[in-house]
Structure 1
Amino acid sequence: MGGRPERLPRRQELTDRPVRSEAETVGSLERALPRVRRVIVPEAGHLPWVEDPRGFRGAGTAALR
């Protein structure tokens, strides 16, 4: 492993921390922003405007009404 040896313990500390799931993150945003509404675009992942432009556009249009 490259890098400076004095940084290795710090790297290990970071890898031992739990990672929040997407559901936990979205749930915490919904609690913090009570007027937010979650919309799922079923045929899309991280790039919904590319993967399902029609679904993305529909979700955005509905949110603006």
Structure 2
Amino acid sequence: YLLEAMRNGLTKLNIGTEIRQAYEKAFRETKDVEKARVAVSESMEYLIVEYFGIKGSRAKLQ
């Protein structure tokens, strides 16, 4: 459904809050910037693969 939305003009997805919250929660709990960065990476992976259902998108978007 995401590719169809892009074909119909979708140009922006607001995911900043989700990413920021992952960072803030991990940093608050650990006080470790690297662990907070890992939390951001994991949050991004979840959003891309699980929430939006995008896997192997490089080939699909070319």
Q: TM-score, normalised by structure 2?
A: 0.30
Larger Rg: 1
Q: Which has the higher contact order (CA 8 A, sep 6+)?
A: 2
Q: TM-score, normalised by structure 1?
A: 0.29
